[in-house]
């Protein structure tokens, strides 16, 4: 695990794909906690045209099953507690937050958030997503956190009506299958204040 006791900012060189077959891309993340705020940035760079990114929607909404397509995600847990949150951020602006009581148990929408303030920029060579999150809705500033940064990538298929191959990216893959919910894959520790 990466311990951020002295540094409040972590720049990840690259999320790693669980799958050997994936588009020629790199995914990096930057994470910073300042008191009650969490700033998170993802950058997908490389052959962006090979990735099927959903187009921006006029009105971003809370939606289920965003992880079935290209989606930036992160998992956040309070150190020493079994419960955690799953945040799903679609490049089209849609989002969701779930609260879980334990490993894949008790999945319920986290109603503390009525919206997530994130921005997306897509060009021919990169896609970025930036989030500024008020943590005080779910955790106290003095609580130490464990975070897993993850991404689901859908490859562009030959036909727009077909689904493309999916690859799973994370800072750590700790099991025999891609499984973002494994607590030992929450590889970043953020101390409380």
**β-bridge partners, 100:** 84
Residue 6's pLDDT is 42
**Higher pLDDT, residue 74 or 21:** 74
CA-closest candidate to residue 118, choices 145, 94, 84: 94
| Residues 178, 181: Cα–Cα separation, whole Å | 9
| Residues 97, 127: Cα–Cα separation, whole Å | 22
**Higher pLDDT, residue 85 or 189:** 85
Residue 13's pLDDT is 46
The model's confidence at residue 14, banded by pLDDT at 50, 70 and 90, is: low
CA-closest candidate to residue 143, choices 92, 88, 79: 79
The model's confidence at residue 86, banded by pLDDT at 50, 70 and 90, is: very high
Summarised one tens digit per residue, pLDDT across range 53-63 is 988 788 899 99
Q: What is the CATH number of domain 2-190?
A: 2.60.40.1190
Residue 55's pLDDT is 84
Query: 33 to each of 21, 98, 118, how far by Cα in Å?
Result: 34, 20, 16
Mean pLDDT taken over the chain: 90
Residue 126's pLDDT is 95
**Higher pLDDT, residue 193 or 87:** 87
In the DSSP assignment, the letter for residue 183 is G
Quote the tokens at residue 172: 């750590």
**Cβ atoms < 10 Å from Cβ of 137:** 13
| Residues 135, 147: Cα–Cα separation, whole Å | 13
The number of residues making up the chain comes to 193
Residue 186's pLDDT is 94
Q: Which residue matches tokens 């989606």?
A: 71
CA-closest candidate to residue 181, choices 192, 190, 191, 172: 172
Summarised one tens digit per residue, pLDDT across range 94-134 is 999 999 999 999 999 999 999 998 999 999 999 999 999 99
The radius of gyration of the chain's CA atoms, rounded to the nearest angstrom, is 16
Summarised one tens digit per residue, pLDDT across range 124-169 is 999 999 999 999 999 999 999 999 999 999 999 887 777 889 999 9
């Amino acid at each position: 695990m990466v311990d951020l006791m002295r540094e409040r900012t972590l720049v990840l060189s690259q999320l790693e794909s669980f799958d050997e077959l994936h588009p020629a891309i790199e995914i990096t993340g930057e994470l910073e906690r300042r008191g009650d705020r969490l700033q998170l940035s993802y950058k997908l760079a490389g052959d962006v045209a090979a990735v099927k990114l959903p187009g921006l929607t006029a009105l971003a909404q809370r939606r289920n099953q965003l992880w079935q397509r290209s989606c930036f995600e992160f998992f956040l847990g309070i150190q020493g507690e079994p419960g955690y949150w799953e945040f799903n951020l679609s490049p089209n602006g849609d989002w969701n937050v779930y609260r879980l009581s334990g490993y894949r148990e008790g999945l319920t929408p986290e109603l503390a958030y009525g919206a997530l303030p994130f921005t997306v920029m897509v060009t021919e060579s990169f896609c970025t997503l930036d989030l500024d999150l008020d943590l005080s809705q779910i955790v106290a500033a003095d609580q130490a956190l464990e975070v897993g940064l993850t991404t689901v990538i859908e490859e562009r298929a030959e036909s727009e009506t077909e689904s493309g191959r999916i690859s799973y990216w994370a800072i750590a893959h700790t099991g025999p299958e891609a499984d973002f919910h494994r607590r030992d894959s929450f590889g970043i520790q953020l101390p409380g204040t």
